[in-house]
Amino acid sequence: HLNDSVEVMEHFQAVGRKMIGEKISQVFAEHNATITNKVENTLQPFLISSHSQIVSACKNWKTAITDSNSATMKRFYEQANFITNNKTAILEAIDNRSNW
């Protein structure tokens, strides 16, 4: 599923640059920077936490991603399944100039 998601994202960015021009590259760069910033902000509390807090957080995260009934995994599966099951249609929509 991750490979499908990355492929769709890279295709979207490549087609965007081709159809709209390099100006969109700045938008994509800003978006990527926002994601990087959110990841750093999410990780920051762990960097200043005690070892026991980190262990506890890791156990909670492990439970969330190993339990197929957890809300986290249900959300991931739904999004990943949507992309995988509709990949061809998504790529065709990206390639359609009228959608830009």
C-alpha distance from residue 2 to each of 31, 40, 77 (Å) = 19, 21, 11
Residue 50's H or E segment, with its range, is none
pLDDT in tens, 82-97: 999 999 999 999 999 9
pLDDT of residue 48: 75
Asked whether the predicted pLDDT for residue 40 surpasses 90, the reply is no
pLDDT in tens, 8-33: 989 998 998 888 887 888 888 898 89
